[in-house]
Amino acid sequence: MPEGPEIRRAADRLHGQLAGRQLESVWFAFPELVAEAGSLVGRKIVAVDSWGKALLIRFEHGRVLYSHNQLYGVWKLHDEEREPDTKRSLRVRLTAEGRSASLYSASDVSLWEVDRLGEHPFLSRLGPDLLTHGVTQVQLVTRLLESSFHRRGLGGLLLDQAFLAGIGNYLRSEILFFAGLSYTARPRELTGEALNRLAHAILRVTRQAYEQAGVTNRSEWAILARRQGESPRLCRFAVFERDGLPCHACGSVIERVVVASRRLYRCPGCQPY
């Protein structure tokens, strides 16, 4: 499933396609939304952003279209007169000044007043989004030490969307590696230096994944790995999916373990228990 950086990049593409343009047609497959389509025609889309793995299309009159791609949903961008070549089921289509965005295969779509988004059953349970809500390193350290989170092992905590929205499996492994921390460590046990190192890694790795389309590895490590014959996919990461291979930093063999029912990759040399 795509993680926060991938959803944010999708939001950026949708924003570029539709933002600032007046809607000419709106189509919904969902019966509860069909009657709302006409109320959106003639309105402008003012912004498209993301919150964790949810995508939010904001209209000029204070309404917001929420969608969650789940496992199979995908937005496709196209000209109005050109249908995307797909066998997926169309769920939503928005057309503005000749440009269209079509959502396929998703089932979690709803329309909200902006001042009621806090009541959304999914969004109301989410922590802040690192790429949308301007979270700082100081704020992250404070959050790590909150009573709801400070006793929990990092391996489970980083996947908890109530802690931070958008971190998934590959980001978790990469963040812990670059922070030099074990998945068993708990925030309350960490020194101030380690907390700041973790907060910095959370922000930096997530931002790099967003800017480089999912790449979290250091460029010099990736270049060397490619010269040594590693696949392009493996070169994207420092530890994720690299079990059995040597660590880029210290040469120890990368391990694969299961934490919170999800696979996690770690370097026993760089991330001692």
Q: What is the Cα–Cα distance from 86 to 156, expressed in whole angstroms?
A: 37
Phi/psi for 148 (5° steps) reads: -70, -20
Output DSSP code: residue 238. S
CB atoms near residue 219 (< 10 Å): 10
Helix (H) / strand (E) containing 258:
strand 255-259
Q: What would the 3-class secondary structure string for 18-57 be?
A: HCCCEEEEEEECCHHHHCCHHHHCCCEEEEEEEECCEEEE
Q: What is the Cα–Cα distance from 42 to 69, expressed in whole angstroms?
A: 26
Nearest to 176 by CA among 120, 216, 145: 216
Which residues are part of the catalytic machinery?
2-3, 53, 262
Nearest to 4 by CA among 211, 241, 196: 211
Q: What is the Cα–Cα distance from 216 to 222, expressed in whole angstroms?
A: 10
CA distances from 237 to 146, 174, 231, 245 (A): 30, 7, 11, 12
Instruction: Name residues whose C-beta falls within 8 Å of residue 24's C-beta, 6 or more positions apart in sequence.
Output: 41, 80, 95, 96, 97, 98
